[in-house]
Amino acid sequence: MVRVVTREEIERLLPGLDLVERMQDGFIAYSKGQVVVPPPGELLFSDPPGDVHIKYGCIDQDDVYVIKVASGFYRNPELGLASSQGLMLVFSRRTGQPRAILLDEGRLTDVRTAAAGALVARHFAPSTVDRIGIVGAGTQARLQLLHLLPETDACEALIWVRNNAAERGFREAFEHEDRVPTLHFTRDIREVAQRCELIVTTTPSETPLLRAADLRPGTHITAVGSDTPIKCELEPEILARADIVVVDSLAQSEHRGEVYQAVRAGAIDRRRVVKLGHVLVNHAAGRTDDGQTTVVDLTGVAVQDIQIAKAVIEALGSTA
């Protein structure tokens, strides 16, 4: 019988899962060619604005394969709904039989993305991070900050928001968290660039938000929001000036993300780009001193969905 798992059940399991290590193992397997990950499917909508991603695949020797459907409809909060929606389907790799339907409402996609952001910070953030910069104030922005706190000693966070409602929602989301940095908010994105050593961008912007001229030397940027061919949060010159540019997927970076936009603009040569899994295996390819400016472009890879879905069904087995 197929097990149907609700979001409530998933939420109870998530705190006990070491997802950063799971993401690391997944990216390493991906870089070694041990993962089957076809190109993602995609639907883009303009009225209302939204996008749907279909990602799927399996890891060699695993017992399961995973198909994920996740969407972002950015006016949903006006309707009292979360912008992220979706589910994950887990099948037996031996027989093709369905094993579990994870009705996560997009939660697992959000969390696996944040866990990847924490993994990136572990390997690319400067040794001292006093202030984390977050561009955006939605669900992913909050999750990124929560997952970054254990990876840094930062005691402050500076969040770029567009309006008072976004600021209020961000503050409320942190009211019951155990560890909360001092939260500051700004409408001036240049302030984030000039005052933060570690910056994460989380918006669906289609025009650059951060500018190269505003960044301080030695900054690390994790770019999360640009996961379609039309999104772009970083001025291409940022990548041109960066000492190290990394992607989660070389194949996906040919069609989407900040690297795609920078190559298209003629700002960088694709041969400069390094795959994240390669850095995890060969640390010499990563940051070597605090003076380097680094950019990691995360467009989201199916191996992340595989890893988090496996973690959930394994935890379900241990609690059965």
* Residues recognised as catalytic: 68
Contact in structure between 156 and 132 (CB atoms under 8 Å): yes
Specify which residues 11 forms β-bridges with. Answer: none
Alpha carbon distance 167, 176 (integer Å):
16
Q: What whole-number distance in Å separates Cα of residue 200 and Cα of residue 232? A: 13
Residues in the chain: 320
